[in-house]
Amino acid sequence: MGDSATPALIVGLRNPGEQYEATRHNLGADVVATLAARHDAKFKRAPRIRAEMAVVAIGDTRAILARPNTYMNESGQAVAPLVDYFGMPLDRLLIVHDDIDLPFAKLRVQEGGGSGGNNGVASTIRSLGNEEFWRLKCGVGRPPGRQEPASFVLKRFGKNERDDIDLLRQYGADVIELFVTAGGDEARQQAGEVKIG
């Protein structure tokens, strides 16, 4: 576990643009936006980095919140420069992203491992040359029937899903706050205890 007094970098993966707002693939960025709103923080364009950033204080620890302005499959082109710019140790980096292999409205914190089929995580691993960073996975469930996963994640949540997703965004923000103040192991335990629906 990293030193929780060390600032943390929290990156919510997304596709930028109005047509992608509130889609399943943008759930990671939406969770990070929920945390920013909780702390009355506004995202601003980062200088020389393809991302928007907001800085919040959680307890005595600073958290840099970021949303890439790259498409999902180029996320690493924003994450790696952010890590370099802030000199961020990888055990204080948390990537927040959607996960189709995780049941709908479940949360899971994981350290290291592969991309799990998420192109944004795969791009981040490539750009960092390292997979030993933390992830907060936000479950969107598997596509119904024979629907292609690539088109499923670009769709918005249905009316019957939105209340649970609103709860997931709040619980996800809670997990991020714990990651910032107490570290990844504590955040992993809390994420595993979240029950929605």
Strand partners, 110: 135
Cβ distance 13 to 27 under 8 Å? Answer: no
| Contacts for 183-190: CB closer than 8 Å, 24+ residues apart | 183/1, 183/2, 183/4, 184/1, 184/2, 184/91, 184/94, 184/109, 184/111, 184/134, 185/1, 187/94, 187/109, 187/134, 187/136, 188/108, 188/109, 188/110, 188/111
Q: How far apart are CA 191 and CA 188, in angstroms?
A: 5
Strand partners, 94: 10, 134
Identify whether 97 is a catalytic site residue. Answer: no
Annotated active-site residue in 14, 24, 25, 67: 25
Active site residues: 25
